[in-house]
Amino acid sequence: PAPDNVLEINNIEVVYNKVVQALRGLSLVVPRGQIVALLGSNGAGKSTTLKAVSGLLALERGEVESGSIVFKGAPTAGRTPHALVRAGLFHVMEGRRVFEDLTVEENLVAATYALTGRKGAGGAKADFDTVYEYFPRLHERRKGLAGYLSGGEQQMLAIGRALIAAPGLILLDEPSLGLSPKLVEDIFGIIARINAERGTSMLLVEQNATVALAVAHTGYIMENGKIVIDGPAERLASDPDVREFYLGMG
């Protein structure tokens, strides 16, 4: 049977360049089918946590020095980021890195090839339809260069690519970054729909605690490389002490 937790992070320590310790014994779980919000101030180690899970840490000379990360019941240690994507773990990085010189649809074609190994548009059509169903705006702009999309549209494209991988777990790094309140609301509405309709689990890093806790089932708050508080999202959002001391919401 599939494990109850799609992701388990057990007591990891992460060090950059062999000297800068970014995570100090961090543990968390993402139950299957849930959205888990990972919150905390700048530099707490939220992005580092996502990079440790996807394996992209290695690109920045970072290393998981102890502890373990278990995805769908199997340890991730020794597996490449590419192998983890094929296994259903997709990392939407901060800053929505899309191919600016390709059209929207070409970005999706590239994603299909890179993520599934399938060539040509035939088998990909159904995948594209799914992306366009969640993001009708991308359908309108499908012939346009991705570099000319607005910040919000690029974020949609970055999340749309994740849908092509049909992942069991999406790691989302700051989807609200630089977006207007209206677009933040739109994007988070779509994130909630994808979770509800497709059962995709998500680990969501956000500065905007209010919107993140509104869509999440569970929340974790980080400080200085480890978790300081966790609990049901509703409870964290309504606890006055949590709001004042950890989320800066007074």
Q: How many CB atoms lie within 10 A of CB 240?
A: 9
Stretch that binds ligand ATP, among 35-43, 63-71, 137-145, 191-199 (CB under 6 A): 35-43
- What is the closest distance, in whole angstroms, from the C-beta atom of residue 45 to ligand ATP in the complex? 4
Q: Tell me: does residue 155 bind ligand ATP (CB under 6 A).
A: no
Contact pattern from residue 41 through residue 60 relative to ligand ATP, giving x for each residue in contact according to CB under 6 A and a dash for the rest:
-xxxxxxx-----------x
For position 25 contacting ligand ATP by CB under 6 A, the verdict is no
Q: Shortest CA distance to 47 belongs to which of 249, 222, 237, 184?
A: 222
Spatial neighbors of 26 by CB under 8 A, at least 6 apart, are 9, 11, 12, 14, 45, 49, 67, 222, 225, 226, 227
Q: Does 22 bind ligand ATP (CB under 6 A)?
A: yes
Q: How far apart are CA 213 and CA 215, in angstroms?
A: 5
Tell how strand 35-40 and strand 20-31 pair up. unpaired
Decide: is 95 part of the binding site for ligand ATP (CB under 6 A): no
**How many chain residues bind ligand ATP (CB under 6 A)?**
13
CA distances in angstroms from 94 to 28, 32, 122, 153, 155, listed in the order given: 21, 24, 31, 14, 9
Choose between 53 and 109: whose C-beta lies nearer to ligand ATP: 53
Q: Which stretch binds ligand ATP (CB under 6 A): 1-9, 38-46, 63-71, 135-143?
A: 38-46
With CB under 6 A as the contact rule, the residue among 4, 20, 210, 245 that binds ligand ATP is: 20
The residue (of 39 and 157) whose beta carbon lies closer to ligand ATP is 39
The DSSP code for 243 is I
CA dihedral 5, 245, 207, 189 (to 10 degrees): 70
Stretch that binds ligand ATP, among 16-24, 132-140, 150-158, 239-247 (CB under 6 A): 16-24
Q: How far is the CB of 2 from ligand ATP (least distance, A)?
A: 29
Q: Which amino acid is at 183?
A: L
* Interface residue list for ligand ATP (CB under 6 A): 16-17, 20, 22, 40, 42-48, 60
